[in-house]
Structure 1
């Protein structure tokens, strides 16, 4: 057996699994561990079988793996089709290489190019790139678990980009009232009610906009088929419930599309927001004022439907008691107390 590392960092395995009289196998691997594992497997096959059959070359491309991922697992996900589209967009950028030839360096190069291009265009693409990395990693992990991919995950050791925590913009009470006033005069008769739902329960705009009549009952608004798949039910006031259902369809969706009407209302109210925060500003406004009013972080986590408490922690600094110990336990105060004592 001959196992040599090549100039490109890969490992060439050259051996005869069934001995010199049998088939000759030459195969390149990304890592030494993969090569050694393959050699052990093929020698075991040769010893247990009456005759050894040389393994066929894997000619699948990354796009083939993406489709296999979708057929095996992706179709079960609410966002499965959307994720497949994003995976294929990345794969096209990579020129759809043979899966067995795909390496972590290929994806790192994609990350660098994407980062530079989007920054030049004025975007902050770190979060988007991290999502695509997570999708690609998950694709390989699913195929490994099902046995459709026999090698290691080539992205196993690729790290996410470090992101500077983005400040979440929220409306002041004055701005909120200005916006509601503008929305109340809008031609779209649904936009005001949808905005009030978001401000009352911290809903995403799309969640509130797509509510149906059966989602409003017993003094609560019930969100199903949410972004992360978690259903949640949140109490609302009697006045808001009446406003939502009065003069609206008794069956099916309560509201028509009204996101454009929200954006127009923000513009008329003179409210400028960072890129990408227009549709979420009402959700951030609810969460921010909830914490400033003394709300509980764990309760907020359940209301917003976050998968992890870390996501909700972004609002922790707004709590009245947040880090108040700094005022009483800093060395200047402590030293004065000791002198006084």
Structure 2
């Protein structure tokens, strides 16, 4: 049975020492504990390890890695079933997390505090947009949460840090611009016209247009199934079913006769570098849309294809469309995202205020 010894020298307290037996030999070590109770607890742990046949003194825990090392491990090891394109996710995450390294990369990850994350947010906000800062903090929080699950950290210091608010971008084409674009592409860009018209009349995302197959369309019953984004599931994670607008049916029927044949029976195949037709996998490709907008006398939005989606949604609401119906059409999992279009509804607030009758 071991014991705790309180040692002094010339009346000066030196510390609590532990005396115990291991393999028939008596050992004595300095506990370096602040109290007798803590020293006794340490002695119990040592004797328990000896009873299990392990070395008496536990190995010192490995120091926590720096944030830079932790981020490198995160980018190499992190994965989730919901991430449709892991390579693309890691590229975006790496670009965002590189903004963190100059300020916090050298810090040990287990010493990071909420106040330091807040200071990082404020420093990034001086040169970056609110959206970029929010994205950076989101990726950083994901990395630290992964480290907690992996047992590398005890807590995630990003939790509780307020994120900057960003105004949603809502850049859409006017009715005159839409008419000019459709007229120009119908006359001068026959292969591009069906894809642009489908985007404007359905609000599909660019990836959903690229992944669309002829078996997802039924021109007779006017049915459209949004089953893919490129070759993965749509952003919401599940397919949605829409009715084709009447004005779009003859456009797609004509295109069906002229559409280049592909193994996947793509509705909107792209000309690839080897000259063949197939799916465009470069998510940054804009399919020449900026040039077509300029040729039609239209503005060129910062994100041209997403602006076509905004155009559909904005004009749908301005024509009196229902916000919940729009949510289903666009495939938003949360109606809060769809509500960015609500202010465009004619008499939206006035009609709601008229509901009360005292």
Same fold per superposition (TM over 0.5):
yes
CA contact (8 A) 1:183 1:191 kept: yes
Shift of 1:61: 3.4
Shift of 1:319: 2.2
> What corresponds to 1:232 in structure 2?
240
CA distance in 2, matches of 1:198, 1:214: 18
Matched, 1:272 2:313: no
Shift of 1:227: 3.3
CA distance in 2, matches of 1:89, 1:166: 22
CA contact (8 A) 1:211 1:255 kept: no
TM-score by length of 2: 0.68
Distance verdict in 2 for CA 1:231–1:16, change over 3 Å: farther
> Which structure has the bigger radius of gyration?
2
Distance verdict in 2 for CA 1:278–1:90, change over 3 Å: closer
> What corresponds to 2:132 in structure 1?
128
> What corresponds to 1:179 in structure 2?
181
SS for the counterpart of 1:246 is helix
Matched, 1:55 2:60: yes
> What corresponds to 1:282 in structure 2?
308
Distance verdict in 2 for CA 1:326–1:235, change over 3 Å: closer
> What corresponds to 1:65 in structure 2?
70
Shift of 1:82: 2.9
CA distance in 2, matches of 1:177, 1:300: 22
> What corresponds to 2:275 in structure 1?
none
CA distance in 2, matches of 1:110, 1:43: 43
Q: Which is worse superposed, 97-106 or 43-52?
A: 43-52
Shift of 1:153: 0.3
Q: Which is worse superposed, 282-291 or 98-107?
A: 98-107
Deviations 1:124-158 (A, max 9, x none): x21121022112212222332x3433411011121
Matched, 1:155 2:158: yes
Shift of 1:310: 0.6
What are the residue-to-residue correspondences of 1:1-341 with 2, within 5 Å?
21=29, 24=32, 49-50=49-50, 51-66=56-71, 68-69=73-74, 73-76=78-81, 77-93=83-99, 94-95=101-102, 96-97=105-106, 98-118=108-128, 125-144=129-148, 146-163=149-166, 165-166=167-168, 168-187=170-189, 189-217=190-218, 219-224=223-228, 225-236=233-244, 237=246, 238-248=249-259, 249=261, 251-252=263-264, 253=266, 254-256=268-270, 259-274=286-301, 276-325=302-351
Shift of 1:302: 1.4
Q: Which has the higher helix share?
A: 1
Distance verdict in 2 for CA 1:107–1:16, change over 3 Å: farther
SS for the counterpart of 1:220 is strand
Gaps of 5+ in 1: 1-14, 27-40, 119-124, 335-341
> What corresponds to 1:121 in structure 2?
none
Q: Which is worse superposed, 128-137 or 73-82?
A: 73-82
CA distance in 2, matches of 1:65, 1:42: 31
CA contact (8 A) 2:109 2:153 kept: no
TM-score by length of 1: 0.71
